[in-house]
Chain A
Amino acid sequence: MIEFFTEPWTHVFMQRAFLVVLMSGVVCGVIGSHVALRGMAFIGDAVAHSVFPGIAIAFVLKTSLVLGGIVAGLVTALSVAVFSQNRRLKEDTVIGVFFAAAFGLGIVVMSTAPGYGGSLESFLFGSVLGISNSDVITVAVAGVVLLLISGALHKEFVTVGLDRETARAVGLPIFWLDLALYAMVTVSIVISIQAVGNILVLALLITPAACARLLTDRIGVMMLIAPAIGAVSGLTGLYLSYAFNLAAGGLIVLTATAVFIACWVFAPRHGLLSRRSPAAARVEPVQP
């Protein structure tokens, strides 16, 4: 029985997978909390798609995939910011235009590389068992930097998240803070693509944060719970993938989704069951 749990970790490729999944889960949990609270899920999706051409170009040019992804993500974020200035178009419409375009560009670029089918698949669906040592180091460094920046700008992000207009009125540089957050979302996504793939990475960003929101009313606690759920989902998915020889990325996301459904039903104050119980009446807002 013990061997069932320890045996996978005797393989070096599983140790690397373990580390990357753990770090992706933690980083996405923290950054994803901001994404979920700001209602930025669609932007997260757009960034996830738009890093693809950057990764494809970096892959063809044989340079850093992380750098390529970040550049492409930021170019898309800036394009959305600029093109949404036209008041006839809503921001989500502009995002819809650009992220599909970015993805199209990525596929065209990938198709110029010889034998692109296999590489394409590993970008789209993840290749957690084929991670190199240098990938692990890149993810670790990027992850630590992200967590440090997130901590350093925490009170500013909360202030803007609560009330953009007043935050601007007291002098906070809203545009730069937004750009910083987009950049952080972009990097989180790029470092997590190897674990779950480009298409499923949004789930790693949003689902653990959504679970945590159901469990707490404090953003500080949320930023502890979300990474924990992300990491545990990642490890569980990885185990199941090893044990049953199924796709790791999909299992990681499905595990997180199972946790979400459990939270939705059983969460102590905001879950389905407690909302139905008479005791819940106590937490309803009291009219003045």
Chain B
Amino acid sequence: MSDEVLQVSGLAVDLAGREVLHDVNLVVTRSEQVGLIGPNGAGKTTLLRSLLGLIPIRAGSITIDGRTPGGARGTIGYVPQRHEFVWDYPVRVRTAVMTGRTHRIGWLRRPGAADRDAVREALERVDLTDLADRPIGELSGGQRQRVLVARALALQPRLLLLDEPFTGLDVPTQEILTRLFRELTSEGTAVLMTTHDLPAAADTSHRLCLLNRTVVADGSPDELRDPAVWLRAFGVARSEQLLHSLGVAR
């Protein structure tokens, strides 16, 4: 089995006739955590959606475990932004996590022992076992984020995609998730996350990928110490605050 879980080459995507991504090249290997960073409108979410096969691509190719996004459907763990989820829906945490496996369980079937085991393990990993029977509407923001991660983990994916997982979370929850992602990568999972939280991304990711319509820079946090690279990605002439927060500026 190849070490490259995700391979994107020459990817171009148009939305409503406007080019959002062009010539995007990106590889994520086993056991690697990659932070996808870029300003608003850089195409981060669009990239994730095209990896999931949710939007058509104009040019280039995406390979996930040797398959197209369409063929890899149901094997990728996806954690959307929290507001994509209907939190006032009347189900318990355990049921919400089980919905990650709905397609794998199959039509006209009920969850079996393997499904229940996968959900139990996912709940344990995000430390939500005690809240498994709580209605999802009564959870805090941090607990909600962990439900979404558990739902993705219930698929036991080789590739985990996360859209802004740290946004609006307090430090303890961020630490729980950071530790979890480290565990997952050490077990071989490939993790790709978009984030606005640059310091956290620089801290936790093996590699950072700066996206602004295309990949502006791609390297380890140490390799990306050059302020010019960041300024080009974010399209600002001068952003000392940003650079300070990253520890890039002197």
User: Which A residues are within 8 Å of any B CB, using their own CB?
Assistant: 37, 87, 152, 155-156, 158-159, 161-163, 165-172, 213, 216-219, 222, 283-288
Contact = CB atoms under 8 A, between A and B. Distances in A.
Interface of A is mostly: helix
B103 interface: yes
Nearest to A218: B90
Nearest to A164: B84
B143 A288 contact: yes
A203 B151 CA distance: 35
A162 B91 contact: yes
Contacts of B90: 37, 213, 216-219, 222
Given A37-B89, A166-B84, A288 B99 contact: no
Most B C-beta atoms less than 10 A away, residue of A158, A161, A283: A158
Most A C-beta atoms less than 10 A away, residue of B96, B99, B173: B99
B135 interface: yes
Interface of B: 16, 52-54, 73-74, 76, 78, 80, 84-86, 89-92, 95-96, 98-100, 102-105, 107-108, 110, 135, 137-143, 151, 155, 169-170, 172-173
A166 B78 contact: yes
A283 B73 CA distance: 38
A165 B151 CA distance: 14
Contacts of B85: 162-163, 166
A146 B105 CA distance: 22
Contacts of B73: 169-171
Contacts of B76: 169
Most B C-beta atoms less than 10 A away, residue of A166, A170, A286: A170
A287 B137 CA distance: 13
Given A219-B89, A286-B140, A167 B169 contact: no
Contacts of B78: 166, 169-170
B172 A288 contact: yes
